[in-house]
């Protein structure tokens, strides 16, 4: 087995986790803010916070110093990374286009690909990433949930532009 071209999630365990809560009302706005950070984090997970008002917060892991835009803020440093929705993770940039599930697992820190309502995805199955892959960090693992789609491919369960709940009868 070859060494992956990225740090494993366990390699990030010793790095400090920074928690950021800027009141983003939705994940799209929060992800837009994340894209403005330089340097980018090694791992970035969103967390829905219910109080004092519903918003999206971040847990971030950086390789070195914090971006200037964060260094000036009063941030909460925390212990082990909480479970959440991973937006940036080791190998995430390589997950574009159509890839066999086995290659997704090889190219990224994703530990498992699960079919919604079923078990593990077939390693030979083709995943159409649509250049938008958001696994969940659960129990120290990154798990990508997928579903069958037309053309005998799998697609991530979470899409870039989901249909809002009750859109057809609001």
Residue 167 has pLDDT above 60, yes or no: no
List pLDDT tens digits, range 47-63.
988 888 899 989 998 88
With 0-12 CB in 10 A as exposed, 13-18 as middle and 19+ as buried, what is 126?
middle
Q: Is 97 left (phi over 0), alpha (psi -120 to 50) or beta?
A: left
In whole angstroms, how far apart are CA 114 and each of 76, 110, 122?
Answer: 33, 11, 9
Alpha helices, H only, 36-148 = 68-71, 101-107
Look over the chain and give the mean of its residue pLDDT values, rounded to a whole number: 86
**pTM (two decimals):** 0.85
List pLDDT tens digits, range 75-130.
655 655 578 999 999 999 999 999 999 999 999 999 999 999 989 999 999 999 99
Please, which pLDDT band fits residue 9 given cuts at 50, 70 and 90? low
How many whole angstroms separate alpha carbon 36 and alpha carbon 152? 36
Please, which pLDDT band fits residue 16 given cuts at 50, 70 and 90? confident
How many whole angstroms separate alpha carbon 92 and alpha carbon 97? 12
Strand-strand pairing, 43-49 and 84-88: antiparallel
């Amino acid at each position: 087995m070859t060494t992956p071209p990225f740090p494993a999630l366990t390699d990030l365990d010793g790095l400090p986790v920074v928690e950021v809560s800027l009141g983003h009302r939705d994940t799209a706005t929060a992800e837009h803010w994340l894209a403005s950070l330089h340097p980018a984090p090694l791992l970035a997970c969103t967390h829905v916070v219910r109080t004092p008002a519903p918003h999206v917060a971040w847990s971030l892991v950086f390789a070195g110093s914090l971006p200037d835009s964060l260094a000036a803020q009063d941030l909460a440093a925390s212990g082990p990374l909480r479970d959440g929705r991973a937006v940036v993770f080791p190998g995430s940039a390589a997950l574009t286009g159509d890839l066999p599930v086995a290659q997704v697992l090889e190219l990224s820190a994703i530990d498992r690909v699960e079919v919604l309502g079923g078990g593990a995805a077939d390693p030979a199955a083709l995943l159409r990433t649509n250049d938008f892959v958001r696994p969940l960090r659960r129990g120290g693992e990154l798990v990508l949930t997928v579903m069958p789609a037309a053309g005998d491919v799998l697609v991530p369960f979470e899409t870039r532009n989901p249909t809002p709940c009750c859109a057809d009868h609001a």
